[in-house]
Amino acid sequence: MTGAGVAAELCAVVLAAGEGTRLRPLTERVPKALCPVGNVPLLDRALARLAGLGLTGPDRVAVNACYLGDQVVAHVGDRAHLSVEVGDPLGTAGGVANLRDWIDGRPVLVGNADAYLADPTAAPGPDVAALLADWDGHSVRLLGQPAANPTAPGTFDGHCFTGFSLLPWRLVHDLPVVVSDLVHVLWRPAEAADALEVVPYPGTFFDTGTPADYLAANLHAAAGGTLVDPSARVTGRCAESVIGAGARVDGDVLRSVVWPGATVHTGERLVDVIRFGNGTVPTLPGPDRRHPLGPAGKHLA
């Protein structure tokens, strides 16, 4: 089956129901899928990647929601079919199974909303198109990158999963609508049956599940500079940071993220942290993460 043939009949599911417990307190009031990276909600990045493959609208794209699901529903609007899970999240496999009637016989591209991917040689969408190319329509495909330890638990054929998988209908059809994950219910059995392929992703990947990885994804999006939303007010010095919409920065900020509407007061120096509201989430070990900024926002050794 060619990539073009797959794309013609393909549907996509973005998994956005998770609680993001490792990102707390950032996710106490905002679902992980709506946390901004480079001033763009993660979910919007996922939808843009699918659009780059020609997958748009509620007939071709679905988003599941559970934790703080009303925010996800309002944010998505009519851009995708919405599957709201009542009670606890169903997990990655249960979430896909809950969409069985909508998937309705089609192969499905499943993406994690919290996956940050960026390839300098390809736009979002084309950067993951290799996942579809020359697919046989029967195997499971995972997007992956070589693991530092190829035999570590959680790896597949020496690779770490990087956020997107391609599933045939024959396997989706039998998924139970219970709390379950794709790794144990579908991927490992497919691997054992020699029916799982890993397609290498050449770009940069962060799963954004921890404050450190979330910060790293933001700094990558800033490309060594500072991203400042036009509605932010900045009178302090900023370097290698991301400043969100409506934020006010009167202090100094280095290698940090300032969320929309947050404030950095005069005299504050934030380094390697995430500021949300008036709270701060550290990303590095140790008690002292505050360092002086030199002229033009440069870090003094």
57 and 157 in one domain? yes
Q: Which domain holds residue 158?
A: 3-206
100 and 180 in one domain? yes
Rounded Cα distance between 251 and 259, Å, is 15
Biggest alpha carbon–alpha carbon distance for the chain = 61
Q: Does residue 212 form part of some domain? A: no
Q: Does residue 214 form part of some domain? A: no
How large is the C-alpha radius of gyration of the chain? 20
- Say which CATH number the domain at 78 has: 3.90.550.10
For residue range 159-177, list pLDDT tens digits in order. Answer: 999 999 999 999 999 999 9
Q: Does residue 219 form part of some domain? A: no
For residue range 36-85, list pLDDT tens digits in order. Answer: 999 999 999 999 999 999 999 999 999 999 999 999 999 999 999 999 99
15 and 58 in one domain? yes
Q: Does residue 216 form part of some domain? A: no
Amino acid at 273: V
Local structure of 217: helix, strand or coil = helix
Q: Does residue 81 form part of some domain? A: yes
Check pLDDT > 80 for residue 6: no
Rounded Cα distance between 213 and 283, Å, is 8
142 and 41 in one domain? yes
Report whether 65 contacts 85 (CB < 8 A).
Answer: yes
Specify the number of domains making up the chain: 2
199 and 265 in one domain? no
Mean pLDDT of the chain: 91
159 and 21 in one domain? yes
- What pTM value is reported for the model? 0.90
240 and 182 in one domain? no
Q: Does residue 213 form part of some domain? A: no
Q: Does residue 233 form part of some domain? A: yes
Rounded Cα distance between 266 and 115, Å, is 34
For residue range 184-204, list pLDDT tens digits in order. Answer: 999 999 999 999 999 999 999
Q: Does residue 218 form part of some domain? A: no
CA contacts within 13 A on the Cβ side of 281:
22
